[in-house]
């Protein structure tokens, strides 16, 4: 989870499982340390409200708690504005429409399946086709050395 390669610039490149674990750790830091510091309190409060949105979204397919999602989204939106007044972007407003869209749709879209399939591809399928890439690379290297002989 703390491999240096996972931390690139402003991004964390860990898996979904690692990101969830890191979010739990950051929430604990917010609740026990950062919220008590007046300079960090607004940002910590915003992050804690975002955590509530995340919890609600992770369970939305089972619990269908659209009203809770709307409540948590609005609370986070207000907390984010208070912490970062010059950082609002259109996507912050658009996400406020998610609860109504979820409620109006017969099915709930989620990306967790895609994450699992990506993990399958990297763990299984890529090793199944790896020999094709190695054979092709060997052919190119062989042809390259042949050309250098002449």
Predicted confidence (pLDDT) at residue 19 exceeds the cutoff of 90: no
Predicted confidence (pLDDT) at residue 26 exceeds the cutoff of 80: yes
CA nearest 75: which of 54, 105, 100? Answer: 54
CA nearest 83: which of 122, 38, 127, 114? Answer: 38
In contact, 49 and 82? CB cutoff 8 Å? no
83-116 tens-digit pLDDT: 999 887 777 778 888 888 888 888 777 665 555 5
Predicted confidence (pLDDT) at residue 127 exceeds the cutoff of 80: no
Beta carbons within 10 angstroms of residue 123's beta carbon: 9
């Amino acid at each position: 989870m703390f491999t240096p390669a996972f931390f690139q610039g402003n991004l964390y490149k860990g898996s979904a499982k690692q990101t969830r674990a890191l979010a739990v750790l950051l929430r604990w830091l917010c609740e026990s340390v950062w919220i008590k510091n007046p300079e960090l309190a607004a940002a910590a409060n915003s992050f804690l409200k975002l955590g509530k949105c995340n919890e609600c979204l992770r369970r939305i397919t089972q619990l269908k708690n659209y009203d809770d999602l709307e409540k948590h989204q609005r609370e986070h939106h207000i907390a984010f504005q208070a912490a970062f007044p010059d950082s609002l972007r259109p996507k912050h407003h658009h996400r406020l429409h998610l609860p109504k869209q979820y409620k109006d749709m017969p099915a709930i879209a989620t990306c967790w399946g895609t994450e699992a399939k990506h993990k399958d591809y990297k763990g299984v399928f890529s090793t199944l086709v790896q020999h094709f890439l190695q054979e092709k690379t060997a052919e190119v290297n062989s042809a390259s050395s042949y050309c250098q002989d002449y």
